[in-house]
Structure 1
Amino acid sequence: MLKNIFVAFLDNPFIASIVISDLFILLFHKPPFIFSLGMFAILIAYCLFLGQKLAIFKI
């Protein structure tokens, strides 16, 4: 499962670098509230994208 996640990161390096930097900014800095809401929305959208791309729980 981790291999699939790493492959998804390597398939989309630009999006992955944006999301990783977004995560570190949210964790280690205190951005303004509206900006942090937008960044959090980007993180959620990327998680939804990865979930759809990987389809870990196929029925």
Structure 2
Amino acid sequence: MFKKIICGFIDHPVLTSIFAADFFILLFHRPPFLFSLAMLAGLMAMCLYFGQKLALFKN
């Protein structure tokens, strides 16, 4: 499962870099409230996309 996640991140380098930058900005900086809500919405959308794309628990 871990190998599938890493391969999925490697296959989508632009989305992975946006995901990582968004995550670390929200984690280590305090952006303005409305901007942080927009970034959180983008982060959730990318999580949903990666979850659908990787299909980790598909039988």
- TM-based fold match above 0.5: yes
The one-letter amino acid paired with 1:42 is G
TM-score normalised to structure 1 length: 0.92
In 2, distance between residues paired with 1:21 and 1:13? 12
Structure 2's unaligned 5+ residue stretches are none
Higher relative contact order (CA 8 A, sep 6+): 1
- 4+ runs of 1 displaced by more than 4 Å? none
The Cα of 1:56 is off from its aligned counterpart by: 1.4
| Corresponding position of 1:36 | 36
How well do the aligned residues superpose, as a CA RMSD in angstroms?
Answer: 0.9
- Identical positions, percent: 58
Structure 1's unaligned 5+ residue stretches are none
| Corresponding position of 2:48 | 48
TM-score normalised to structure 2 length: 0.92
